[in-house]
Structure 1
Amino acid sequence: MNPCKAREPKIIDGHLLRVCIEQQLPKGELGRLMKTEGVDPGNVEEMRLEFMNIVKMDHLWVLKSLTKLKLNNNLIEKIENLESLIHLQDLDLSFNKITKIENLGSLGKLRILNLFVNKIEKLENMENLKSLTIFSVGKNLIKDKESVHHLRRIPMLISLNMANNPCTEYEDFRRYVAAFLPTLVWYEYKKIHDEERETGVVKFRQLIIDQEELEEKELAKILQKEREDREAELNMDSFVEYLNTRNLFDQMWEKDDEGKLLLNLGDDIRELYADFQTNFVNYCKEVFDIGQRHYKIRKDEIEAFMRCTEHAKHLSQLESIQLMEEFLEAKNILFSKGQEVQKNLEDGEIDEREYDRLVFELTDEFNKLIHVTWKKLMKLELVLFEQMDEVNQNFERNLTEMIGNLIEESQNCFTQLRELEQQYTDRLTEAANKMFNNIGLVEDLVIPDVLDEVMSDKDNLLNCLGATHDTHLTVIDTREDVLIFRAKGWLESFTNNLFTGEVDRNRYKILELSHFLDIQREEFEALIEPPKELVVVQDDD
């Protein structure tokens, strides 16, 4: 192999994986046979891709049975494309150029993770690694010793190596780790003694208490979010999920850095913010109540509609069955006559000419019976189909009106939300302009440090106020659009299913009736077919 070619940066692709799989086959005849027959990548459990100048992790989804993956000593900068490796237990990414721990959420079975010698600055995004027991992240760039706190979320971690990170230079870092990670047994491959942990707990007692309180608050937030998510899922059909909480208000401020800065204008603004929040959330709850009320009305109407239409279909089905039973009774009489004619022919009581005449009469009578029955059944089905079409159209109009009322009432509340936001912005602008105009005029005026840049120029201030106002309105408008879009989308989908469902039912019913009568016709034709012996005799003559 050309040595220069071997040193070229590589991306993991199908060809590279096939080559590596073949290189890892057993030696000798067994390996030759396996290579000849081909190895399914989906069955490979271990893969070594070491010292190959790999710069990008890709195409790994074909290795769906993989339990061990070694990608050490490469040029990888980003952890990615591991979502399909749900069986992975051992992952070695040491000696690479990775800057961030990420995209490990699907690796719930991972037990060993090696990130030794990389460029990682923070321990994060590992909360889903519930099976992780051995973790090496030595010789990275982790400065903050509190990064260790993130590992408290990993219940089975027993071995940790963070050697040669900047954070390890803190005094008693080993005891710090031992105190904050009570499940840890080994640190830097040396067993943690009880004395180390006990003295660490004593020394960092207050920090541990503070951390536990913080974790309790975080857990409460997580549980609250899970409750809200479960409730939101139940409220999806009412199109107002999360509006019974402060979720929409929080969304306005989530990316509103300018608005957060302006809260430092003073206590009056913080009080204004608190009032704004209370009133805003109350209007959101009004939208939620509107959605719930209309959902109940809509649900009751749909249930009543379904009961009525199913009852009508059931009655039509009973009448159809009655017509079929009447047909079968008449058919049985004709079949008895046909059997009698067959017997008379076989017994020589009638000749073939008389047999043909009688069969012709029976066939004509049977065809008339089929025709009359078909007309009755088709008329019954046509009446039902037309009735259902009319009922569906009327119900579509009712649903359209209900959805229209929901949207109209909701839009009124969203208008109030926008007016409330405008009032807040006006008051905020007034306070900001007042402070700006007093700069240099009021001797004891104190400008918070975080507002120095904003207050340094009038245009800066106006841009800041405009940005926060636009951010808030975008969030409000987007949520209103989502409600309207989903409500109209539901209406279109429901009514389309209503009409297409009825068309499908009608087609299936016609096919069912046609099949039923075709079978009866085949049975009759088989019945009146002359005996084979007579046909043969007739042919001989």
Structure 2
Amino acid sequence: MLDPCKEREPRVITNALIEKCIDLQYPKGEVGRLLRLEGIPMEEVKEIRFEHLYILKIDHLWVLRSLVKLSLNSNLIEKIEGLETLIHLKELDLSFNKIQKIENLETLTNLEKISFYENLIETIDNLDNQQKMTVFSIGKNKIDDHSNVNYFRKFKALTSLNMAENPCSEEEYFRYYVAAFLPNLVYYEYKRIDEKERGKGSELFRDELRTLERKEEKERIENEQIEKEAQDAKSHSKMFVEHLQTGKLFDIMYTNDEEGKTLLELGEEVRELHAEYKNQFVEHCKEVFDIGEKHYYERQTELDNFTRSSENAKLENQLESIGHIENFLENKNAMFKNIKNLQQQLDHDVIDEDQFMAAMVDRRQDFEQMIHKTWKNLMELELQIFEQIEEVNQTIERVLSEMLNTFKEEVQAVFTNIRAAEVAYSENLNEAGIQFLTNMATMTDVEEIPKELKEMVYDRDSLNNAIVATHDVHMQAIDSREDLLNLRCKAWIEDLVDRMKNEEIHRNRYKLLEINHFLDIQQEEFNEITSLPEQIVRDEDEL
């Protein structure tokens, strides 16, 4: 007999508990008994309930990988965890627990119904991936800010929401707020929202709603821009010049260049020099981008031509192979027809067994010659196309390597200009710094000089060290970007060549297997059709 006190102890989900809950779900009576005998593998279970079991920690649920509905309500769960493998889950019930935060649901993108009723949640978040969610219940929690409602504006499929008995839901007109700010919502607290409620809510919260809509529109534009930049970067990465059409490389140089930022405080003249330097730098980067774009399309055109040439060669080779196969099949059909005629003649005593056997020996020799000739022709064609493709691939490698070298040489020339611009700026900065030191010696009020600048340029050595430091940071950023471009070029051509070689090796091996398999089948058919009639076999056995 089970100990009632022990049953109420906090527990973790184990395989034994899972098996017990599965067993409880079987129907009663004979049907249930038969189902238990047959058993349901854990990986096939679609629905399970762990209710009123004093569960403290979710665990071991990875064995239920086909689960669609999961109920964990009325337990002692404090943290959402251990659910990431349940990617088919559509319904999740975590009501009546001790959960304080919504988390670890990112992989559950098929969730449609979720309930966190009566927990300790204060903020609604971390549900961005649940775009299929239609029903969400988070009543009787600790949500006190009514703006949490706005989080649900991104869920276009959401039709039913329950936030009853939260502190924010006790506010006057809260239902009208929900109606106004969630225009796609159909039910709130399981009661349909009518148009009057929506209209009144829009009137009551007009200003707040307009402010939110303006903010969302701004965020939408910003997100579209970010997405476009990401797509552009992905596209431009094939050209090896991503982000070089903008001033991003220049900005990267100054990200960790505190000396360079501080030296801009030397005065208006330095800021003008900096602005001019930036314009030159960005223009040179755009030159690199234009070169990259031009050479990318040239490479693609060349690669497309080679690909077309290879495909045409393969097609011609295939057609010739088909011609040999059709010729073989035509001769085979004629031979099989002749063999059947001989078998009929034997059956009708037109020829005797010796004549039939002698004819079969001749036919076997002819068929073996046909098989060998076809095998030889097909193998010669395959060897021919293999050598052709190998030669084409070598040519592609050579041509594209030469094109990449030309591209890198043109880019190198522009990077030389970028470095020259950096050197010129550094020299101008040094002159401006010396002039600043000279002027500072005669200044009566040095308090106007920023503290960081004063500490950096208190004498010529410190000034020189600061300028050298900023120059080194810039040169390192420029060198790193050029090195990255060269490394990406090298990796691309190596990957392309390896892929083409592997694809051709795979194609060749498959073709050889295909040829041999085809001819093996033909040989089996011949053996079958030329097998001795049963009567001859019996007569020979008797002898």
The TM-score bracket by the shorter chain reads 0.5 to 0.7
Cα distance in 2 for residues equivalent to 1:24 and 1:77: 24
Determine the C-alpha separation between the residues in 1 that align with 2:362 and 2:520.
Answer: 20
Cα pair distance change 1:164/1:315, threshold 3 Å: closer
Q: What residue is the counterpart of 1:523 in the other structure?
A: 525
Letter matched to residue 262 of structure 1: T
| SS of equivalent to 2:245 | coil
Verify the 8 A CA contact 2:48 2:70 in the aligned structure 1.
Answer: yes
Offset of residue 295 of structure 1: 1.8
Residue of structure 2 in register with 1:447 after alignment? 450
**Mapped pair 1:363 → 2:364:** yes
2:226 is equivalent to residue 225 of structure 1 = yes
Moved more, 33-42 or 291-300: 33-42
Q: CA deviation at 1:389?
A: 1.5
- Change beyond 3 A, Cα 1:423–1:271: same
How far is the alpha carbon of 1:373 from its aligned partner?
2.9
Aligned pair count reads 518
Q: Return the TM-score normalized by structure 1.
A: 0.67
Aligned to 1:265: 265
Structure 1 333/101 Cα, relative in aligned 2: closer, same or farther at 3 Å? Answer: closer
Relative to structure 1, the CA distance from residue 478 to residue 195 in structure 2 (aligned partners, 3 Å threshold; closer, same or farther) is: same
Whether the aligned pair in 2 keeps the contact of 1:290 and 1:410 (CA below 8 Å) is yes
Change (3 A) 1:288 1:364: same
Q: Indicate if the aligned counterparts of 1:101 and 1:125 stay in contact, CA closer than 8 A.
A: yes
1 CA distance for matches of 2:48 and 2:70? 5
Q: Unpaired segments of 5 or more residues in structure 1?
A: 166-172, 187-191
Q: Tell me whether 1:505 sits opposite 2:507 in the alignment.
A: yes
Query: In 2, Cα distance between the equivalents of 1:297 and 1:524?
Result: 55
**Separation of aligned partners in 2, 1:512 and 1:309:** 20
Secondary structure in 1 matching 2:504: helix
Q: Aligned partners of 1:278, 1:472: CA distance in 2, in Å?
A: 15
CA shift in 2, pair 1:532/1:280, >3 Å: same
Question: 1:285 and 1:13, CA in 2 relative to 1: closer, same or farther beyond 3 A?
Answer: farther
Amino acid at match of 1:514: N
- Pairs within 5 Å for 1:96-175: none
Contact 2:9 2:54 in 1 (8 A): no
User: Which letter does structure 2 place at the counterpart of 1:519?
Assistant: I
1:279 is aligned to 2:259: no
Q: Tell me the equivalent position of 2:536.
A: 534
Q: Which residue number corresponds to residue 325 of structure 2?
A: 324
Residue type matched to 2:541 in 1? D
CA distance in 2, matches of 1:453, 1:3: 74
One-letter amino acid of the structure 2 residue matched with residue 265 of structure 1: E
Q: Which amino acid aligns with 2:510?
A: Y
* 1:342-391 Cα deviation digits (max 9, x unpaired): 34444444443343333323322332233233222222222222222222
Query: In structure 1, what is the equivalent of residue 192 of structure 2?
Result: none
> Residues of 2 paired with 1:13 and 1:3: CA distance?
18
Tell me, yes or no, if the aligned pair for 1:327 and 1:369 is still in contact at 8 Å: yes
C-alpha contact 1:51 1:73 (8 A) present in aligned 2: yes
Question: What do the CA deviations read for 1:19-58 (whole angstroms, capped 9, x no partner)?
Answer: 996899899999x99999689597457767999776x999
2:379 is aligned with 1:378:
yes
Deviations 1:73-126 (A, max 9, x none): 87769999699697577777997787x9998697786877789878x8x99877
1:168 paired residue number: none
Q: Sort the Cα spacing of 1:81 and 1:461 in 2 relative to 1 into closer, same or farther, 3 A.
A: farther
Asked whether the 8 Å contact 1:180–1:208 carries over to 2, the reply is: no
2:194 counterpart residue number: none
Listed as ranges, the matches of 1:21-100 within 5 Å are 40=42, 43=46, 65=68, 87=90
Compared CA separation, residues 512 and 463, structure 1 to 2 (3 A): same
Q: Which digits, 9 at most, give the CA deviation of each residue in 1:294-331, with x for residues without a partner?
A: 22112111221122122222222222222233333444
For the 8 Å contact 1:258–1:464, the answer to whether it is kept is no
* Structure 2 residues without counterparts, runs of 5 or longer: 189-196
Q: Is the 8 A contact 1:46 1:67 kept in 2?
A: yes
In the superposition, the TM-score normalised over structure 2's length comes to 0.67
Question: Is the Cα–Cα contact under 8 Å of residues 115 and 138 in structure 1 kept in the other structure?
Answer: yes
AA aligned opposite 2:448: L
Q: Which residue of 1 aligns with 2:339?
A: 338
* Conserved? CA contact 2:277–2:425, under 8 Å: yes
Q: Which moved more, 1:529-538 or 1:107-116?
A: 107-116
User: Is 2:297 the counterpart of 1:296?
Assistant: yes
1:536 to 1:251, Cα distance in 2 relative to 1, 3 A: same
Alpha carbons of structure 1 residues 72 and 197: separation in structure 2 relative to 1, 3 Å? farther
Distance in 2 (CA, whole Å) between partners of 1:395 and 1:465 is 47
Q: Which amino acid aligns with 1:282?
A: E
Identify the residue that residue 181 of structure 2 maps to in structure 1: 183
Letter in 1 for 2:526: F
- Determine the structure 1 residue equivalent to 2:404: 403
Secondary structure of the corresponding residue to residue 315 of structure 2: helix
Q: Which amino acid aligns with 1:258?
A: E
Equivalent AA in structure 2 for residue 491 of structure 1: I
1:413 offset after TM fit, Å?
Answer: 4.0
**Quick check: 1:93–1:115 contact (8 Å CA) kept in 2?**
yes
Describe the shift of the 1:208–1:321 C-alpha distance in structure 2 as closer, same or farther (beyond 3 A).
closer
Deviation at 1:220, TM superposition (A): 2.9
What letter matches 2:516 in structure 1?
Answer: S
Please tell me the residue identity of whatever aligns with 2:515: L
Contact 2:180-2:199 at 8 Å conserved across structures: no
Deviation, 1:489, is 3.0
Shift in alpha-carbon separation, 1:276–1:67, aligned structure 2, 3 A: farther
Say which SS state the counterpart of residue 239 (structure 1) adopts. coil
Deviation digits for residues 467-521 of structure 1 (CA, Å, limit 9, x no counterpart):
8667666655555454444433332232222222222222232223223333333
Q: Residue 376 of structure 1 aligns to a residue in which SS?
A: helix
* 8 Å contact from structure 1 (residues 70, 93) kept in 2: yes
**8 Å Cα contact 2:247-2:282 kept in structure 1:** yes
Matched residue type, 2:262 = L
**SS at 1:381 equivalent:** helix
RMSD value, Cα: 6.0
User: What SS does structure 2 have at the residue aligned with 1:238?
Assistant: coil
Query: What is the distance in 2 between the residues matched to 1:403 and 1:306?
Result: 18
1:210: how far off? 8.2
Render the CA deviation track for 1:173-199: whole Å, top value 9, x for unaligned. Answer: 999xx999962899xxxxx99999989
- Distance apart, 1:397 and its partner CA: 1.6
Calculate percent identity across the aligned residue pairs: 29
Deviates more, 1:414-423 or 1:322-331: 414-423
Residue type of the partner of 1:534? I
Whether the aligned pair in 2 keeps the contact of 1:79 and 1:101 (CA below 8 Å) is no
CA gap 1:520/1:16 in 2 versus in 1, 3 angstroms: closer
User: Take 1:363 and 1:236, find their aligned partners in 2: how far apart are those partners?
Assistant: 62
Check 1:20–1:341 CA distance in 2 against 1; reply closer, same or farther (3 A cut): closer
Question: Kindly tell me: are residues 109 and 530 of structure 1, through their superposed partners in 2, closer, same or farther at Cα, counting changes over 3 Å?
Answer: closer
Partner of 1:241, secondary structure, is: coil
